[in-house]
Structure 1
Amino acid sequence: MKFNYEVINEDSNIAIVTLWSSINQVKELLRDSIRFVSIIGNLYTPVGINYMITTLARINWIDTLIMFGLDYNGVGDLLIRFFRDGALDVLLVGKDIADSVRSTIKVIDLREAFKARNTDALIRVIHENYRPGRKPVRSLINTDINEQEYGSGWALPLVGGFVYERDTYRSWVKLVDLVLNYGFDKGDYRELITPLVVIDSMGKPHPFRRLSEVGLRDFEPPAELVNTLINELRVNPYSMGAVYYGGDYLVQGVISSDYYNQLVYIKSVDVFNDWCRQLYRWWSLAKRVVETINREFNAWYSVGSMALVPFSARIYAKDLDRAEEFVRRNSSVFSEFVEDPRGNFLVMREGDSVVVEHRLPITNALHRRFSFRSLEEAYNALKNSNHFTNYAHAMYLGKELARAFLLRDYEQDKL
């Protein structure tokens, strides 16, 4: 990460920070007065303030900093606080360097003038404070920033996350990784609130790579739970009333087409030590429901998808190191192919356009056809669409689209 800036007039003592606004936009507003500015640059984040400090430590004749731009996230307020009080939540340079810079620079806040498109106020301030000659106001300091990886839990408590899998072991690795990277540290555990994990076993006897059919029978679901679900489905297999509340969990089942699908809400789960047991427990329940219905009605249903939503998915602090090693040891699962149930994409060139055909799973029938004249057009059309179940599929299509627009003789998947 670097401080994004442009040098205009090295003799000037004035710097302009445009925050989130375009540098070129402000330059155009200034017209000829831009020649009185030494450097002009963006600032987006609190960490970026550190890079601004190192730039100003090196260009030691700048003594006036003007804020003129759109402040989306309040970073301008943090900049004001730093120059006023020396306070910066993430300080990546020596305090002596930070104090040397902030004590020798005057900050002029023109954010409101930018909102009002009052360019005259900016031009007036520039002319009033312009002092050419590169006269140093502090010692010249050349310093670099070597950011370290943030090793703790996520900075904010996050709600929501999604893992779609056809293999329970992969779901375990991916969920542990999700909580490790995006869980919030709360005392003796790291927590991610309400991730959704979908185990899709359509067309498979079961989704457990390390468990046989015999092993599944070791888990006996409570009779009351099984009977509550089956009694409702006996009356109407499409009923939405097959629900059981067990105190610390809630189960709901529904039949769609030839499949029994099941949702399980759990108050909390230790995803490192207890996730697989939970999967065995709830999938064996789904299997028992299906077997009972098939036996009673001479039906042909099978288990479709099982969704689990733990309100609190957690890894205890004592297990964090072992959990990280577990993910590292199983990193290969992230490269294993997971077919997207929302279909496939065929990419081809037609003249100067790139055509994308979205096709249904299993039958490969055409669902929708797109034609794009540019990569930007394709990006804008697909970036916020609901065509993807997993991130890998979206990344794959992005890679193939880039290749298709670059290569006249493009052929999908051919490297």
Structure 2
Amino acid sequence: MRITQSKYQVEYIPHYQPNQLICGHGQTAIITGWTVRQSVAKRLNPEDYAVIGNLYSPTRGISPLIRNLLANPHVRYLVILQATKEDKNSGGCQCLLDFLQQGFRQGISDIGRNIWVVNSKITGYIDIEIPADVSENLRQSLKFKEAKSIEEVMNIIKEFNQFKIEPWGEPLTFPERKSSPTVLPGPRYGHRIEGKTIAETWVKVLHRIKTIGTIRQTIYGQWQELIDLIAIVTDEPPEFYFPEPNYLPIKRNYLKDYIEQILDDAPKKEGVKYTYGQRLRSWFGQDQIEQLINKLAGDIDSSRAVMSLWDVNDYEDSDSPPCLNHIWVRIVDKELSLTATFRSNDMFSAWPSNAMGLRFLQQFIQDKIITKSNYSLTLGPLIIISQSAHIYSDCWEHTQQIIDTEYTKINQRQNFNDPSGNFVISVKDNRIVVEHLTPGSGEIINCYSGKLAHKLYKKIALNSPSIHIEHAMYLGKELQKAELCLVKKLNCYQQDLPLNFS
């Protein structure tokens, strides 16, 4: 069904996130939540709507939406579509309805900024730079209806298009608060970050991207990016660790719904994006999770336990192809690890949810293999490879606050066990002697001897390329102390103790 053309036509000019919107010439804005906006647009003529766009996040999306509506006062109607579980889980559409029905108040954001807060159970923000009376006037000037399906959207559009209403005022724009990070030099490609928990690893990831990530302009806005970032989570507890107070962009009560999107199948439905569970369970005509479990239950040493989420048709047929593309499960020495590859990863807003969902999938696979095979398996690390690991510019300030408050704490409590081993340094027979020991058992696997610190640390670095950075810097300090004792002919070197020249 196509809608008859409306009587009122004017060009919609988006000032914010224009590449994420479908613009028309009518008086009605259609907000689609997580429902694919193209699925609505193909049922309409451009004259039937002013704009169609997704509202993924109430904290990041409502303010740009309001800014665009203020700049286009000819828009007098809103249709807000909440058709899926994902719409409800994200909360963006409901928070927008609450803004229209219940208004807003002055408050403080999570990062301590003055902000307008929507009067809602769902946290939603409006930039403080937009005066309260302007937002209130907009609120009073818009007529709106909620829809539960694309078909219902068509009916509401048909109803709204029967009327022509004059613009509520003149176009208005307001300054935006800009964040300009300082970027230090560093490699763009290939980064390894390890932490015990998802929360700890996430803070380290944010710090790495914000410190040396490349700032790029994309069709989705500005972001800071590293390429091929490998994050390794070693000891996430079965029930998941949430810090107190919780600085993660996910709450425990949301986790169950997100896990279902990864683990459970979902029927195909017009306008509804795939879920990862759908891609794994039925998209290719096979239940890949069951295939993988059966493979490893029958062949514990197999390296063929692979699940793919990328469909070659995604190049042409999908507005938003899956970010998670590949999952590989491996059992080594009765330890089950899971490696997931994302082609594109929003490291601030999405990565913790991604990691928890994948960790649950890893636990699920382990339990099923044990049940089917009676193998005794332990849960190994979760490894996530983010090929484009990025943080959007509207999250930079919040990211920096988390780094400022949490990164130092995490590094203060970290242990310094290095899988490259330990080094015992001594001064004997007018030479520096360095014994390289295995981690754990402490067996001697190499020995270095010489008089010059710089020659010794070059040999050690050559033979131990994966040594932890802090461990390497520590060795440099200790070797220099030992050399100083030799030069000054002092018998005072003791590892980890200050030199005593008395």
> TM-score range with shorter-chain normalisation?
0.5 to 0.7
Q: Which residue does the alignment assign to 1:243?
A: 306
Between the aligned partners of 2:467 and 2:433, the Cα distance in structure 1 is: 21
Question: What's the CA shift for 1:389?
Answer: 4.2
| Distance change >3 Å, CA 294–CA 348, structure 1 → 2 | farther
Please point out which of 169, 174, 181 is paired with 2:199.
Answer: 169
Which secondary structure does the structure 1 equivalent of 2:354 belong to? Answer: helix
Larger radius of gyration: 1
| Distance change >3 Å, CA 185–CA 217, structure 1 → 2 | closer
Question: What's the CA shift for 1:344?
Answer: 1.9
Q: Which residue does the alignment assign to 1:192?
A: 226
Q: Which amino acid aligns with 1:409?
A: C
Q: Which residue does the alignment assign to 2:449?
A: 371
Q: Which amino acid aligns with 1:333?
A: I
Q: Does 1:397 align with 2:475?
A: yes
Between the aligned partners of 2:427 and 2:240, the Cα distance in structure 1 is: 41
1:67-146 counterparts in 2 under 5 A? none
Is the 2:432–2:449 contact (alpha carbons within 8 Å) kept by the matching residues of 1?
yes
Q: C-alpha offsets along residues 241-298 of structure 1, whole Å, 9 cap, x if unaligned? A: 1000113320001111121122110121211222211211111121112122222222
TM-score, with length taken from structure 2: 0.48
Which secondary structure does the structure 2 equivalent of 1:174 belong to? Answer: helix
Q: Which amino acid aligns with 1:403?
A: K
Which secondary structure does the structure 1 equivalent of 2:199 belong to? Answer: helix
| Distance change >3 Å, CA 376–CA 285, structure 1 → 2 | same
Is the 1:253–1:263 contact (alpha carbons within 8 Å) kept by the matching residues of 2?
yes
Q: Which residue does the alignment assign to 1:210?
A: 242
Q: Does 1:274 align with 2:350?
A: yes
Question: What's the CA shift for 1:238?
Answer: 1.1
Between the aligned partners of 2:438 and 2:308, the Cα distance in structure 1 is: 36
| Distance change >3 Å, CA 329–CA 287, structure 1 → 2 | same
Q: Does 1:334 align with 2:411?
A: yes
Question: What's the CA shift for 1:405?
Answer: 2.3
| Distance change >3 Å, CA 193–CA 257, structure 1 → 2 | same
Is the 2:189–2:228 contact (alpha carbons within 8 Å) kept by the matching residues of 1?
yes
| Distance change >3 Å, CA 250–CA 356, structure 1 → 2 | same
Question: What's the CA shift for 1:165?
Answer: 2.3
- Runs of 5+ unmatched residues, structure 1: 1-149
Between the aligned partners of 1:316 and 1:217, the Cα distance in structure 2 is: 23
Between the aligned partners of 2:385 and 2:349, the Cα distance in structure 1 is: 17
Q: Which amino acid aligns with 1:323?
A: T
Q: Which residue does the alignment assign to 1:228?
A: 291
Q: Which residue does the alignment assign to 1:319?
A: 395
Question: What's the CA shift for 1:383?
Answer: 3.1
Please point out which of 240, 253, 256 is paired with 2:332.
Answer: 256
Q: Does 1:350 align with 2:428?
A: yes
Is the 1:165–1:199 contact (alpha carbons within 8 Å) kept by the matching residues of 2?
yes
Q: Which amino acid aligns with 2:334?
A: D
Which secondary structure does the structure 2 equivalent of 1:383 belong to? Answer: helix
Q: Does 1:158 align with 2:165?
A: no
Structure 1 window deviating more from structure 2 (150-159 vs 252-261): it is 150-159
Q: Which residue does the alignment assign to 1:74?
A: none
Is the 2:198–2:356 contact (alpha carbons within 8 Å) kept by the matching residues of 1?
no
Please point out which of 283, 291, 302 is paired with 2:359.
Answer: 283
| Distance change >3 Å, CA 252–CA 286, structure 1 → 2 | same
| Distance change >3 Å, CA 198–CA 227, structure 1 → 2 | same
Between the aligned partners of 1:155 and 1:211, the Cα distance in structure 2 is: 31
| Distance change >3 Å, CA 156–CA 337, structure 1 → 2 | closer
Structure 1 window deviating more from structure 2 (360-369 vs 249-258): it is 360-369
Between the aligned partners of 2:373 and 2:253, the Cα distance in structure 1 is: 26
- Runs of 5+ unmatched residues, structure 2: 1-179, 245-251, 265-280, 282-287, 311-321, 486-490
Structure 1 window deviating more from structure 2 (311-320 vs 295-304): it is 295-304
Which secondary structure does the structure 1 equivalent of 2:383 belong to? Answer: strand
Is the 2:298–2:373 contact (alpha carbons within 8 Å) kept by the matching residues of 1?
no
Equivalences, count? 263
| Distance change >3 Å, CA 389–CA 296, structure 1 → 2 | farther
Q: Which amino acid aligns with 2:456?
A: A
| Distance change >3 Å, CA 166–CA 155, structure 1 → 2 | closer
Between the aligned partners of 2:215 and 2:465, the Cα distance in structure 1 is: 34
Q: Which amino acid aligns with 2:193?
A: V
Between the aligned partners of 2:296 and 2:401, the Cα distance in structure 1 is: 44
Question: What's the CA shift for 1:357?
Answer: 2.0
Q: C-alpha offsets along residues 182-213 of structure 1, whole Å, 9 cap, x if unaligned? A: 21112221111111112223xx855954379x
Is the 1:164–1:389 contact (alpha carbons within 8 Å) kept by the matching residues of 2?
no
Please point out which of 460, 468, 483 is paired with 1:382.
Answer: 460
| Root-mean-square deviation over aligned CA pairs | 2.8
Between the aligned partners of 1:216 and 1:301, the Cα distance in structure 2 is: 29
Between the aligned partners of 2:253 and 2:495, the Cα distance in structure 1 is: 42
Q: Which residue does the alignment assign to 1:51?
A: none
Between the aligned partners of 2:435 and 2:186, the Cα distance in structure 1 is: 39
